[in-house]
Each structure stands twice: as C-alpha cells, then as structure tokens.
Amino acid sequence: MYIPKNLRINDLTSLHKFVADYGFAVITTADLTASHLPLLLKLDEGELGTLYGHMARANQHWKIADGQSVLTVFSGPHGYISPTWYESSPAVPTWNYAAVHVKGTVTLTDDETTLSILNDTIAKYEPSLLSSETHGHDGFIPPDYKLKLAKAIVGFKVKIDSIEGKNKLGQHRSLADQKGVLAGLSESSRLDDQALLAYTKLHYQQHE
C-alpha cells in the first residue's frame, strides 16, 4: 500500500486497535481469489499477533490459502470530501479513508480450535448468546447444533509477518480546512459520513 510518511499509522498498538475495531476483512491469495470474513486478533501469539477466522467448507478458498501467504485488508470509515468545504482554494474533491494491511501465512486449525474461534467470535459481537443466565445452561445455541455447524466450516489462522496502516484524513491541510471537513461531514445524513466524522474527530484530537 502506498503510504506517504505523514499518513502512516506508526505505532503497533494503534494498528492492533484498528484491526480489533474493524474486524471484517478481505483476505486475498496470490491467485487473486478473495474472501470477505470476520477475523479475530490474538496478541499473545507471535511477535506481531495472529489472526483467527473461519469460512464455509464449501468455499474452496481455504484449499488455496492453506500454507500460502495472504494479504488481509481491514477498512475503516471512508467518504467523499467536497472541495467546497475547504477555506483554501483552488482545491479538488478527494476521498478520505483509513485502512490497515496485514501480510502473513495461513494455517488451518483443528476442530477444537475452530469451535473455539466460533465461540470467541460470538463472544465479541453478541456475548449474551453464550450466557447461561440469559439463555439457560447451554446458552442460545445448543452444543449439538454448534458441533454440526462446526463441521460445515473450516477454521484457520494467519501468523502476522507484517502490518501497516494509513489514515488519509486531510491532516496535512490547514486547521481551517480541517474544521471545514468536519462541518461538511456533520451535515451529511449518510451513516458512512457520520462514521468518518467520528473517526476524523478522534484523530484530529490526538494530534492537536
């Protein structure tokens, strides 16, 4: 990924947080096959961490990916930026966005680990489904059904070999231009623009 020096996300903690916050990623192998999958990051495995995920057994991508290097792309908020929002001129439209790219090698996981990946994914996004207090001793999903489901998927992990990120948020522009971008985004009713607004505000505050 092309990353100008002033747009690079430099610290590993921020990169890891981005991956954890925007965990729905695109995994691409050398043959240009791609899969869109939710991934979990485990920081206690490997120097840079390890990604865990699963895909449908019917998806032949797991056969291609096993043992191969992959590129995994995590995308954050993004949106159109109008030049009319800037104080300075002339200016042109642009697209602001944030992204993290991870490179690593895929290894398939055994059935027990795959089931653990399922549970950890549910625990991240809807932990109440696993709660015995809310849904009885076995939680919302019966163990036998979960085991049946596990046979229809293939689990895998990606040991991270490299990780890099980019925040293209107009941080090189003047303070007046930055305020104009925030004002322009705040007037939009699009959910994507509101997500970009919140992310940009946070980034600007960190660099004040």
Contacts of 121 (CB under 8 A, 6+ apart): 38, 40, 54
Minimum mean pLDDT range among 60-69, 104-113, 115-124: 115-124
For 20, the domain range is: 5-206
Q: What is the mean pLDDT of residues 161-168?
A: 98
On the question of pLDDT at 124 being above 90, the answer is yes
Q: In this predicted structure, what is the pLDDT of residue 208?
A: 54
**pLDDT at position 203:** 87
Query: Positive or negative, the Cα torsion across 173, 175, 178, 184?
Result: negative
Task: Tally the domains of the chain.
Answer: 1
Region 144-163: mean pLDDT is 91
Looking at residue 83, which CATH number applies to its domain? 2.30.110.10
Query: How much is the pLDDT for 148?
Result: 83
Q: Using CB atoms within 10 Å of the CB of residue 45, give its burial: 0 to 12 exposed, 13 to 18 middle, 19+ buried.
A: middle
Q: What was the pLDDT predicted at 128? A: 83
Span 30-79, pLDDT tens digits: 999 999 999 999 999 999 999 999 999 999 999 999 999 999 999 999 99
When comparing pLDDT for 203 and 62, which is higher?
62
What average pLDDT does the structure give for the chain?
A: 93
Predicted local confidence at residue 207, as pLDDT: 60
Residue 132 is predicted with a pLDDT of 59
